Structure 1
Amino acid sequence: MASFRASRKAQSSDGPATVLAIGTANPRNVVDQLAYPDFYFRVTNADDRQELKDKFKRICKTSSSSPPLTPFCLTSCLSLQLQQIRH
């Protein structure tokens, strides 16, 4: 038991503890789920695909009320559809 106390004493500081930061770590590029379709189509230069954009908006809107789908999953599916249309 003495070795445990000695190791705890060695790990602790003598002065008061200081909290360096409290908060959430959200990256600057966080996009709201309802605004994500507009963002994605603008970034991929696919604004001319209005029917896909509307479908993607519906998916994002319905998944925001139920357990949300991950943007990566949605983006992957959409990327495949865009590639098939372009080729």
Structure 2
Amino acid sequence: MIEKAPDEQDGFTVILEAAGSNETAVVKVVRELTGLGSKEARELVENVPKTIKEGVPRSAAEECKKRLVDVGATVSVE
């Protein structure tokens, strides 16, 4: 059995801090990542900071962050 380092988390949270100048593209990516409808995704993006994903592995959290940053959003992973 492999033991995890004490500082290694099991799940990470992806938080949208700011949408940036291309809000429409950010809404599109949020919809793809969360499965939300257009109205719900737009409301989420307009009312930042908001959690996009919770309890996901580091690789999934980093992929979400990359996709959002690529369209101009500011994102943090905790």
Larger helix proportion of the pair = 1
* Higher strand proportion: 2
TM-score normalized by the length of structure 2 = 0.31
Q: Highest Rg: 1 or 2? A: 1
Q: TM-score, normalised by structure 1?
A: 0.29
